[in-house]
Structure 1
Amino acid sequence: MNTWNQLLTQQGARGTEQAPQLFRDFGRTLTAAELADGFAAPLTDLGLIALNGEESASFLHNQLTNDVEHLGQDTARLAGYCTPKGRLLATFLVWRNADTIFLQLPRAIQPALQKRLQMFVLRAKTKLSDATESPANAVVLGVGGKQADAVLSTWFDALPAQAYGKLDHPMGTLIRVGDAFGAPRYQWLTSAETAAAVWPVLSAKLAVGGNDAWQLSSIHAGVPLVVAATQEQFVPQMVNFELLGGVNFKKGCYPGQEIVARSQYLGKLKRRTTLVTIPDAQAAAGMEVFATADPEQPCGMIVNAAPNGQGGVDALVEMKLDAIERASVRVGSAEGIALQFLPMPYVLDPLDL
């Protein structure tokens, strides 16, 4: 166990029996209200792929749903990686510095995704490597809520003004991601030494959570994350990915591009992802949901779910638009526990609803 993990464990960080170093929380689940006020969370379930070489950007540009060739060093963006049938294998947060392009994704699916990408490098001048535990990015801290800016200003003279802005700083890389609860959220990638130095201030001024807290904030930001249970289940638009800027329809080809474009331009989209709360702690990504008006077949699937501190979970659920309109949907079967629909943080396509 490294010194940083020891520090967190001494302060009550808890993982699971199978993965004790993937810290879910610090003894209790934070609520949405606490996240909205301000929180800090070590993120231990994310992996990082690094690409180096003069053709890294063009290689990724031909593999992902978003434009990588014109990605600047002061921005980050979402991007998807699809099968030839247009189904998402992964969703990434992508950014770069002068020498390296980084792809962030769930640690659990990183090895297989990295291996798959490597298969298509062929003669491209790029090299993929696992940067998850590289010294400069060894720790990822999630910080958000209305108090976040004031606390981060302890170390940063300026903060990214918009979502998906990025800055490089002597104390690490700071990326503003999608806002939640009307307040900014940031990922701070830094060394274990810097993390240990700043953690006493963060933990004194903000509510302290772990992976669960960050996932709950992402759910309330409406930002989907493809995990092992949901790989190859969704075309990007099903999880609102193009609404979040994760798909560029003007770039060249990539695996699944024809199907993704067809879904966009030929006919009305029939499925979207929406925000719900479920009074069932066992509800999880990959579980099917059923509309009471059509009980014989599932109308959708849970994309992401996280404990909400009230005995259940809040979740992003992909489903048919008519099921969203009727708002009578249950988990597991038409007789299961009912989903309670919550307002989305952004507008679904007004032509859809």
Structure 2
Amino acid sequence: MLQEFAARHHVNFSENRLRGYAPAWNQPAFQLGFVSLLADQGLTMISGEDAASFLHGQISNDVERLPQNVVRRAAYCTAKGRMLASFLYWKTEQGIMLQMARDLQASTQKRLQMFVLRAKANLTDCNEQYVSIALGGTHAAGAVQKWFPDLPAEGEQRSNDAGTLIRQDGVHGLLRLIWICPVALADQAWTHLSAQLAVCNSSDWYLSHILAGIPYIQAATQEKFVPQMINFELVGGVNFKKGCYPGQEIVARSQYLGKLKRRMALGQAAAAGLVAGMDVYHEAHPEQACGTIVNAENADESSSLILFESTLADQEAGVLRVGSPDGPVISLMPLPYPIVDVTRD
């Protein structure tokens, strides 16, 4: 389906990413209005009368009390609290939709299916039914108005016959939306949007995601992090008041016993081609890596923006490098949210 879509609309895909355009994330045209595709994100629907209660017992956030129009994040963890995947999830008329990195979707869906047991819940791969369109900027609301007259608030969604429109966390005032568009409507939608908004690479969307300080788990970082290590509770991905789920005891203990010595930071490095899972080193102890890249994207031909996890002590003083002890220096940038304990007022 993806290659046929690409051929019809004369766009280029590689590794499920839209590519071939000049970087736009820091250009005025991006602020005015952009559109791209997120074919590297996968969709799984959980349906059936026990869908909410089943999923509630598997992930780090509340599902049973999820309002109809709200979109939430959640972690799916091992028994040791390590993240196997990260989701966006929301309700539709058919059930609960999960969006996650496509390179994890098949294994994650299979693992969830193992725990359904007697619950009346069905898991369905929806990648052939929908196209995930990323768009934003000043003109984006007008571009989708014919399908979604009322724009959702941040962290909310609107669903109708045209699919689901999700409003993501903004950064520097930038409106960011994801449209989960039915395949039958995708050609019409893309033709309309690409005529009104600047078409950009998928990486431009992920650069805005990095600037928003929003991490997501990929195959390269599976089982590397407890949620708090990548600030996942700070971006709404953990509910400390809900019931049990795999890894819940470890996640709660890390929070309440004050052992949060590792955190995620935002940075820029003078090197292109950095990828998730690469090591981070500190000049004071170069013999051993002190951290890991969570997400990375090329900012231009010679630099990258990264989210990386390391000890707070290493972030506070000294020089950090990526890839090797003598690799490119990481210049720290401020996150758009404070590092706080969300369990305390």
Alignment-mate amino acid for residue 22 of structure 2: R
Tell me whether 1:107 sits opposite 2:102 in the alignment: yes
Taking the aligned partners of 2:330 and 2:150, their CA distance within structure 1 comes to 41
Alignment-mate amino acid for residue 124 of structure 1: A
**2:203·2:297 contact (CA, 8 Å) conserved in 1?**
yes
Aligned-residue offset at 1:210: 3.3
Aligned-residue offset at 1:66: 0.3
**2:263·2:311 contact (CA, 8 Å) conserved in 1?**
yes
Q: Which residue number in structure 1 is paired with residue 267 of structure 2?
A: 276
**1:4·1:192 contact (CA, 8 Å) conserved in 2?**
no
Aligned-residue offset at 1:28: 2.9
Q: Which residue number in structure 1 is paired with residue 44 of structure 2?
A: 49
Taking the aligned partners of 1:74 and 1:193, their CA distance within structure 2 comes to 24
Aligned-pair identity in percent equals 46
**2:272·2:301 contact (CA, 8 Å) conserved in 1?**
no
Q: Which residue number in structure 2 is paired with residue 14 of structure 1?
A: 12
Q: What does 1:1-353 correspond to in 2, within 5 Å?
A: 3-8=4-9, 10=10, 13-16=11-14, 19=15, 22-33=16-27, 34-134=29-129, 138-161=130-153, 163-326=154-317, 328-349=319-340
TM-score by length of 1: 0.91
Taking the aligned partners of 1:151 and 1:253, their CA distance within structure 2 comes to 42
Taking the aligned partners of 1:113 and 1:31, their CA distance within structure 2 comes to 31
TM-score by length of 2: 0.93
**1:287·1:331 contact (CA, 8 Å) conserved in 2?**
yes
**1:141·1:187 contact (CA, 8 Å) conserved in 2?**
yes
Q: Return structure 1 stretches of 4+ with deviation > 6 angstroms.
A: none
Aligned-residue offset at 1:322: 1.4
| Gap change, CA 1:210 and 1:183, over 3 Å in 2 | same
Alignment-mate amino acid for residue 93 of structure 1: L
**1:41·1:141 contact (CA, 8 Å) conserved in 2?**
yes
Taking the aligned partners of 2:201 and 2:93, their CA distance within structure 1 comes to 31
Aligned length: 340
Alignment-mate amino acid for residue 14 of structure 1: N
**1:160·1:175 contact (CA, 8 Å) conserved in 2?**
yes
Taking the aligned partners of 2:71 and 2:42, their CA distance within structure 1 comes to 16
Taking the aligned partners of 2:37 and 2:264, their CA distance within structure 1 comes to 27
**1:30·1:309 contact (CA, 8 Å) conserved in 2?**
no
Local SS of the residue matching 2:288:
coil
Aligned-residue offset at 1:179: 1.4
Taking the aligned partners of 2:88 and 2:334, their CA distance within structure 1 comes to 25
Taking the aligned partners of 1:291 and 1:182, their CA distance within structure 2 comes to 34
231-240 or 93-102, which deviates more: 93-102
**CA RMSD between the two structures:** 1.9
